[in-house]
Amino acid sequence: MAVPGWLSPGVRLAAIARSARLSGSAATRQAPGAEPVGQAALYVHWPYCQKRCSYCNFNKYIPQGLDEASMRSCLTQEAQTLIRLSQVQRISSVFFGGGTPSLASPLTIAAVLETVSRCAHLAADAEITLEANPTSAGASQLAAFRALGINRLSIGIQSLDDAELGLLGRNHMAAEALGTLEEAKKLFSGRTSIDLIFGLPGQSVASWTRRLEELIQLCDDHVSLYQLTLERGTSLFKQVQQGFLPMPEQEVVAEMYEAAREMLRAADFRQYEVSNFARNGALSAHNLSYWQGSQYIGIGPGAHGRFVPRGSGDSLREARIQTLEPDSWMKEVLNFGHGTRKRTALSQLEVLEEVLVLGLRTDVGITHQGAQVLLERFGCAGLSATDPPHTAPAVLGGQSSPRDLNPDSSSKQEATACSRSPEWTGALSGHLKILHPI
Amino acid sequence: MLPLVRRIVGLWVRLPSACTAPALLCPSQPRVGRCPVEHVVFRRPYSSQKEQLDMSIFHVENIRNFSIIAHVDHGKSTLADRLLEITGTIAKTDHNKQVLDKLQVERERGITVKAQTASLFYHYKGIYYLLNLIDTPGHVDFNYEVSRSLSACQGVVLVVDANEGIQAQTMANFYLAFEAQLTIIPVINKIDLKNADPERVEKQIEKLFDISKDECIRISAKLGTSVDKVLQEVIEKIPPPSVNISDPLKALVFDSTFDHYRGVIANIALLGGEVQKGHKIVSAHTRKTYEVHEVGILTPNEQPTQKLYAGQVGYLIAGMKEVTEAQIGDTLYLHKQPVEPLPGFKSAKPMVFAGMYPIDQSEYNNLKSAIEKLTLNDSSVTVVRDSSLALGAGWRLGFLGLLHMEVFNQRLEQEYNASVILTTPTVPYKAKLSSAKLIKEYGKEEITIINPAEFPDKISVSEYLEPIVLGTILTPDEFMGKIITLCQARRAVQKDMVYIDDHRVMLKYIFPLNEIVVDFYDALKSLSSGYASFDYEDAGYQATDLVKMSILLNGNPVEELGTIVHKDKAYAVGKAICERLKDAIPRQLFEIAIQASLGSKIIARETLKAYKKDVLAKCYGGDITRKMKLLKRQAEGKKKMRKIGKVEVPKDAFLNVLKRQPEK
């Protein structure tokens, strides 16, 4: 686990202040105790793709006779049901993921946003992200999405090498990706993110860094970097398993990772979460809320949520999963107003465990005081653990040494923070035990 | 289990209502099945009129007890099939393949594990003869069984493949028969084969066994060619047993089987007197007294008779509950009429030990009962409970030899559907103690070491001993150089080298048993393209230089991987174990040194590099549940790992090192 460093509170505040784009939600996160109870992030799952990618094991389907009007009405119906159930007054951010949500008609996206702002307060500057694939995001569509309220775009570029794209089963070419990126940067300036995958069969450190270098020149202020994970059941998994494709050695992939971190850092990117890099404060507010343990509502087939269903009188946070298969999901939404298939009430310990696991993915990590705050506020919405008061004397697992976004001063204390040695984890769980008398 | 059932049914089918030859005392009874022979029919055991057979009509001079001995695959069992057919003991069909090999493993491997006996009736020159064929196990692991079986015989049929010629086991078996002063009838089998060269084989027999080639009978057991000649020779050449019915009962137990309903069935050869139902008999070994419930002959199924008389061979049931009560080689006599027990009795002595563990500990009880059942039929396996930190509860089993071990394992799998982990076999070492304290502790000066954990330190030992064997290798001379190199690498000392014909050599070596228990036979076979044959016999113990080797993970010893090795072999063995561990232990977040050490001296090392974790995996809303599950599963997995220092070792890693490696 590599968490690049620990921000001193002052520096962090400065960083947040600089990122005015994080607006309302950022302001509330500064003072944990003051975070409004009635707030949640919203995830919308669009389950359709044009083509199956060889590495992807998401809940996605190739549409056959898709009735988008029904889909649209079900999404809005479920959004309304679940927001009411959660009794949140405010939706802090919206994320359209998939599948390929940029394949949905702008009408559908608009209808969902419209419902959300009818059921709860959706600030005018709230982050609203759409995932887009380079092919389906034609320029006119992108403009249409922006016009209806999308203010952040996440493009699945994955690679700039046509052969690699073929291997991944993507249905776009590198040139198309660059075109889309160019277009997006115009429309969503400073709020365009790209996804990249490395550690591909046949990839070398040199080929990876060359492509990355190219992309750093062209990209906007946010990059998500993923090492290829071979997922069971995907065609890529099978091909590697059968020995048709050679996976690069662990050492090689580790070198790719180190090289990428170094290059992104040199280009002023901050690794604010293990897989996510941002500069100029362009952090994803929506994703950050997952890692901070805030509550979120998931709608659409197979979407996950974590929120307290206050509407039904419950006070425990629940892990909720919507029905996977779109047709069954739609049926359930029509019959019951929502397609929640599984609800699991989370114990205090489980919530804390999640906060721990997720918080440690961020560069700010998790703090002693943060955990206390969590406990005090347990059961309430918005279990933010990351932002301790200014006076926080120490954070777990390392010295809270000053670090700003200047790459020069950050290198030294990385050594203390970046290896997740057993002792370190042990110390954290020890703290959890002390803090949490179960 | 199905094959077993089918096999048994098959046997019944193939032996329809035993239509055998001679006219015996047999009042009216229904004739069942087809009867090609006119005379009289033996009764089935299930008939209401039991014990109809009167064996008294066979006088001693009309009895011949003989065995067929041969190297593996030279056609011993096929010849037995033909003899059974000719004498009408079994019906002649196409299905008679190795009728006496009842076990699936015997049929699959083409070997005989369990001695079988069949009484044949043969009409020759106007006289009905009783020919008792005692089929012996073909392998030296069962040498003791062979020698006991032979002691019930007066002669042997020595079968040699016309193509392969004399092989290592041919030699071993010949000497057993020769030392027992039995009449030897040489038979050259498979003369129908294209590459058959009976003349060459005759020359080998002449040279090695000093038997005139005129005495050799050339046959094809498969086609039945000249097989009746074999029977005639048996009658002409082999003397009848020199016994007397008027002597007190003296019966040699040469085999035993266990029947769940009737208890132990002992196969016996009567060397004096007679025995019948109701007799009170005593075992010379255990001194226990039993009442005889049933006697009979084997055809090859049990066929009750009224009595058995001196010179005859048959079975006896006398309420023995465990096979150990009817040990092979034991002598039975009548209560209050003790006789001098037959010489040479000894209990089976295990030569090779291996740990046996259930793959899943929940299978422990099933495996336990399977082992118990199997050892009921095979008293030569010793069973001691054992447990290993890595493999859980299990047993340390002692076997007569390697084949015995494999056969036992295979029978467990086939007949009891038990899958087991079998560890690399080890041999029993000995140590002569010099420390007075230890001598007092053990109560003796010489101790046997089976478990490396019990290995006494060199300071308190005057001498270590290891078991040795006399190995015989027969090979075409072109492979001789390679074989000699192999033997030298195995610390073997050459004792003899003889050309048995122009191209074939017989080599005799003293081997440390430890050097041949794992892969010697495979190595020999592969470097001689399968042409060399190997056999060995126990040759006692010799002084040796043993050390205890420890395996360390980052400096911490792994108890279950400690081994006893010869000093000269420590480096190679240590290196091999370290390499296997390196492949078996998953990489961890830190570097792991895998070392083999003798005392404080490190003799081999492998380094397992640190794991490079995939840190860049996405984790958003939908991934969180999965991630938490994964972490829980990892935590569970860690519980199952053995922690040696900081190093987590999965059970599989131990398995990979401890279990027998598949043959290459």
pLDDT at A438: 27
Tokens 């012996």: give the residue: B136
Weakest-pLDDT range from A1-10, A342-351, B392-401, B413-422: A1-10
User: Is a pLDDT exceeding 70 seen at residue B24?
Assistant: no
Q: Which candidate from B589, B612, B622 shows the least CB-CB separation from A304?
A: B622
The pLDDT tens digits for A224-263 are: 999 999 988 899 999 999 989 999 998 899 999 999 999 9
User: Is a pLDDT exceeding 90 seen at residue A35?
Assistant: no
Distance from CA of A273 to the nearest CA of B (A): 9
User: Is a pLDDT exceeding 80 seen at residue B403?
Assistant: no
- Please indicate whether residue B267 or residue B344 has the higher confidence score (pLDDT): B267
Q: How far apart are CA B423 and CA B71, in angstroms?
A: 29
Q: Which candidate from B589, B612, B646 shows the least CB-CB separation from A253?
A: B612
Please name which of B336, B290, B74, B276 lies closest in space to residue B193, comparing C-alpha atoms: B74
Q: Are B255 and B115 in contact (CB under 8 A)?
A: yes
Mean pLDDT of chain A: 79
pLDDT at B102: 59
Burial of B10 (0-12, 13-18, 19+ CB in 10 A): middle
Q: Which of residues 554-593 of B touch A (CB under 8 A)?
A: 587, 589
The pLDDT tens digits for B548-568 are: 999 999 998 887 788 899 998
User: Is a pLDDT exceeding 50 seen at residue A335?
Assistant: yes
Query: Angle between the A68-86 and A106-119 helix axes, to the nearest 10 degrees?
Result: 20
Distance from CA of B662 to the nearest CA of A (A): 23
CB atoms within 10 A of CB A409: 13
Query: DSSP string covering A103-165, please?
Result: GS-HHHHHHHHHHHHHHSEEEEEEEEEEEE-TTT--HHHHHHHHHHT--EEEEEEE-S-HHHH
For residue A311 the two structure tokens come to 């509407």
Q: How far apart are CA A175 and CA A165, in angstroms?
A: 11
CB atoms within 10 A of CB A438: 8
Percent of chain B scored above 90 by pLDDT? 26
CATH number corresponding to A9-289 = 3.20.20.70
pLDDT at B103: 61
Weakest-pLDDT range from A185-189, A374-378, A423-427, B538-542: A423-427
pLDDT at A69: 95
Mean pLDDT of chain B: 81
Instruction: Tell me whether residues A274 and B625 touch, CB distance under 8 A.
Output: no
**For residue A42, what is the nearest residue in chain B, using CA coordinates?**
B621
Q: Which residues contact A213 (CB under 8 A, 6 or more apart)?
A: A263
Weakest-pLDDT range from A55-64, A382-391, B551-560: A382-391
For residue B249 the two structure tokens come to 């009962």
Residues of chain A with CATH 3.20.20.70: 9-289
The pLDDT tens digits for B249-265 are: 999 988 888 887 888 88
The region that residue B462 occupies, defined by phi over 0 for left and psi between -120 and 50 for alpha, beta otherwise, is: alpha
User: Is a pLDDT exceeding 60 seen at residue A188?
Assistant: yes
- Please indicate whether residue A366 or residue A223 has the higher confidence score (pLDDT): A223
**For residue A304, what is the nearest residue in chain B, using CA coordinates?**
B622
pLDDT band at B111; cut points 50, 70, 90: low
Q: Which candidate from A225, A321, A354 shows the least CB-CB separation from B628?
A: A354
Which site among B589, B608, B620 would you substitute to test the A interface, given the most A Cβ atoms closer than 10 Å to its Cβ? Answer: B620
Distance from CA of A376 to the nearest CA of B (A): 23
Q: How far apart are CA B437 and CA B523, in angstroms?
A: 44
B512 bridge partner residues? B468
pLDDT band at A279; cut points 50, 70, 90: very high
Which site among A358, A419, A421, A429 would you substitute to test the B interface, given the most B Cβ atoms closer than 10 Å to its Cβ? Answer: A358
pLDDT at A416: 34
Instruction: Tell me whether residues A290 and B621 touch, CB distance under 8 A.
Output: yes
pLDDT band at A277; cut points 50, 70, 90: very high
ipTM of the complex: 0.74
H/E/C letters for each residue in B243-310? CCCCCCCEEEEEEEEEECCCEEEEEEEEEECEEECCCEEEECCCCCEEECCEEEEECCCEEEECEEEC
Report chain A's C-alpha Rg in angstroms: 21
The pLDDT tens digits for A95-153 are: 999 889 999 999 999 999 999 999 999 999 999 999 999 976 566 789 999 999 999 99
Q: How far apart are the first and last CA of chain B?
A: 29
Distance from CA of B627 to the nearest CA of A (A): 9
pLDDT at B9: 31
pLDDT band at B39; cut points 50, 70, 90: very low
User: Is a pLDDT exceeding 60 seen at residue B30?
Assistant: no
**For residue B587, what is the nearest residue in chain A, using CA coordinates?**
A250
pLDDT at B454: 82
Tell me the one-letter amino acid at B475. T
pLDDT at B235: 93
The pLDDT tens digits for B163-200 are: 989 988 888 888 888 888 899 999 999 999 998 999 99
Please name which of B201, B235, B238, B195 lies closest in space to residue B218, comparing C-alpha atoms: B201
Tell me the one-letter amino acid at A373. V
CB pairs under 8 A between A and B: 76
For residue B159 the two structure tokens come to 């079968």
The pLDDT tens digits for B50-70 are: 446 788 888 888 999 998 888
Q: Which candidate from B609, B618, B625 shows the least CB-CB separation from A304?
A: B625
The pLDDT tens digits for B358-375 are: 888 888 888 888 888 888
Q: Are A55 and A234 in contact (CB under 8 A)?
A: yes
Q: Is the dihedral of CA A225, A229, A234, A239 positive or negative?
A: positive
Q: Which candidate from B589, B617, B625 shows the least CB-CB separation from A226?
A: B617
Q: Report chain A residues whose CB lies below 8 A from the CB of B617.
A: 226-227, 229, 274-275
For residue A408 the two structure tokens come to 């020069």
- Please indicate whether residue A415 or residue B657 has the higher confidence score (pLDDT): B657
pLDDT band at B623; cut points 50, 70, 90: confident
Q: Are A300 and A59 in contact (CB under 8 A)?
A: no
Distance from CA of B657 to the nearest CA of A (A): 25
pLDDT band at A286; cut points 50, 70, 90: very high
pLDDT at A17: 36
- pTM strictly above 0.90: no
Tokens 């998401």: give the residue: A58
Residues comprising chain A, all counted: 438
| Averaged pLDDT for residues B428-445 | 87
Residue B627 near chain A (CB below 8 Å): yes
Percent of chain B scored above 70 by pLDDT? 85
Rounded to 10 degrees, the C-alpha dihedral B626/B632/B636/B639 comes to 140
pLDDT at A34: 34
Q: How far apart are CA A172 and CA A177, in angstroms?
A: 7
Confirm whether residue B190 is marked as ligand binding: yes
pLDDT at B523: 85
Burial of A263 (0-12, 13-18, 19+ CB in 10 A): middle
Tokens 């030897």: give the residue: B184
User: Is a pLDDT exceeding 80 seen at residue A203?
Assistant: yes
Q: Are B303 and B295 in contact (CB under 8 A)?
A: no
User: Is a pLDDT exceeding 60 seen at residue A187?
Assistant: yes
User: Is a pLDDT exceeding 70 seen at residue B86?
Assistant: yes
pLDDT at B99: 60
pLDDT at A156: 94
Residue B643 near chain A (CB below 8 Å): no
For residue B377 the two structure tokens come to 């039929």
Percent of chain A scored above 70 by pLDDT? 74
pLDDT at B547: 92
pLDDT at A121: 95
The pLDDT tens digits for B113-140 are: 565 788 888 888 888 899 998 877 656 5
| Averaged pLDDT for residues B464-491 | 92
Rounded to 10 degrees, the C-alpha dihedral B632/B636/B642/B646 comes to 20
**For residue B630, what is the nearest residue in chain A, using CA coordinates?**
A357
User: Is a pLDDT exceeding 80 seen at residue A370?
Assistant: no
